[in-house]
Amino acid sequence: MDENIPASVASSLPTRRELRAAVTHGRRARPRRAPATRSRRSHMAKRTKQPHARQRAFAAVAMSFVALLTISVSLPALAVNPDAPRMVTASDSPSDPAQTLTVGTGASVAVQRDGYTIEKVPTRAAYTQTAATYVNYLGAIQWPFLTGVPITTDFGPRSAPCGGCSTFHKGIDMNPGVDSPIQAIADGVVREVSETDDGGLGVYVVIDHMVDGELVSSVYAHMSEGSLTLEVGQPVKVGQVVGNVGNTGQSTGPHLHFEVLLDGTTPTDPFVWLTERVRPE
């Protein structure tokens, strides 16, 4: 006990023994937590397992939704609802064939709708003999045959091939084979014909044409008897058959003797004249 503390105050203070007893009593008075019983543990276990059951149920619902979505995507719409309206596309209807114009044997021209232009294409035909002598195109002026054929005699001076034959050849001799069809080189009108083999040209026809405002005549000779299809005064279209290759008149073998006459009378080289005018454009 401190000597400086008054006696009246010191007598009211607790002693050390009383203080230790109070501290010990306070520790013993603190309540203890009761241990968990078996029923409480079971309840806690149920609460712990409950979220796992919910997760399994959610997973099952999600898998069912995915399965239904897969079936709806993989099956066509008409398999699920056959009465549903269906859109018809261009592929469901038959497509119209492209427009083509066939002329003669194997000749065709393509029509371009947008530009309203006609594309000239080489013509072809089956002959006994062909050659790379020229290329024929569809147009206002064409060759007597749809494809190149052998040219056995050119225009101009020559040795007379037979008695009574001239030494100046007024045309060209073309030989695709006997009975090959011969076509008119341009629109025109028949001026002269011979249906019988009674002269040097045999069975022949002369057609007058107007080309660039000028009169031009074409001559087709040595044709087969009975093959002539024209008569005097008859209008003729380019590409129209006039007769067949033959061996009538003063001829050394089946061929077409072909002439081009300027002003209807003056012979000119048919090969040069046609080459300048029968072009792809």
* Residue 86 covered by a domain: no
Mean pLDDT of 26-30: 53
> What pLDDT is attached to residue 167?
80
For the chain, what is the total number of helices (H) and then of strands (E)?
Answer: 5, 15
How confident is the model at residue 234, as a pLDDT? 98
161 and 251 in contact (C-beta within 8 Å)?
no
Residue 77 lies in a domain: no
Report in angstroms the alpha-carbon separations of 207 from 36, 92, 111, 274.
Answer: 129, 53, 30, 16
Q: Judge whether residue 68 has pLDDT over 70.
A: no
Instruction: With respect to residue 27, please indicate whether it lies within any of the assigned structural domains.
Output: no
Percent of the chain at pLDDT > 90 equals 46
| Contact in structure between 123 and 107 (CB atoms under 8 Å) | yes
Question: 144-201: per-residue pLDDT in tens?
Answer: 999 999 999 999 888 877 777 778 889 999 999 999 999 999 999 999 999 988 888 9
- Whether residue 242 is predicted with pLDDT greater than 60 in this model: the reply is yes
Long-range CB contacts (< 8 A, 24+ apart) of 230-234?
A: 230/190, 230/193, 230/205, 231/190, 231/193, 232/190, 232/191, 232/192, 232/193, 233/189, 233/190, 234/189, 234/190
Kindly state whether residue 198 falls inside one of the protein's structural domains: yes
The domain in which residue 214 lies consists of: 151-277
Residue with tokens 């101009």: 156
Average pLDDT of the chain, as a whole number: 78
pLDDT band at 91 (very low <50, low <70, confident <90, very high): very low
| Strands in 74-159 per DSSP E | 100-103, 107-112, 117-119, 151-153, 156-157
Separation of alpha carbons 261 and 205, rounded Å: 13
Give the CATH number, domain containing residue 178: 2.70.70.10
**pLDDT (0 to 100) of residue 40:** 55
Q: Is residue 92 part of a domain?
A: no
pLDDT: is 249 or 36 the higher one? 249
Between 122-131, 234-243, 252-261, the lowest mean confidence (pLDDT) is in 122-131
Q: What percent of the chain has pLDDT over 70?
A: 59
Which two structure tokens, joined as six digits, stand for 243?
């007769």
Q: CA angle, corner 28, sides to 22 and 29, nearest 5?
A: 85
Mean pLDDT of 130-134: 96
- Does the pLDDT of residue 272 top 80, yes or no? yes
- Total domain count for the chain? 1
Rg (CA), the chain: 57
Coil, strand, or helix at residue 69?
helix
Q: Is residue 104 part of a domain?
A: no
Considering the domain boundaries, does residue 67 fall inside one?
no
Residue 195 lies inside a defined structural domain of this protein: yes
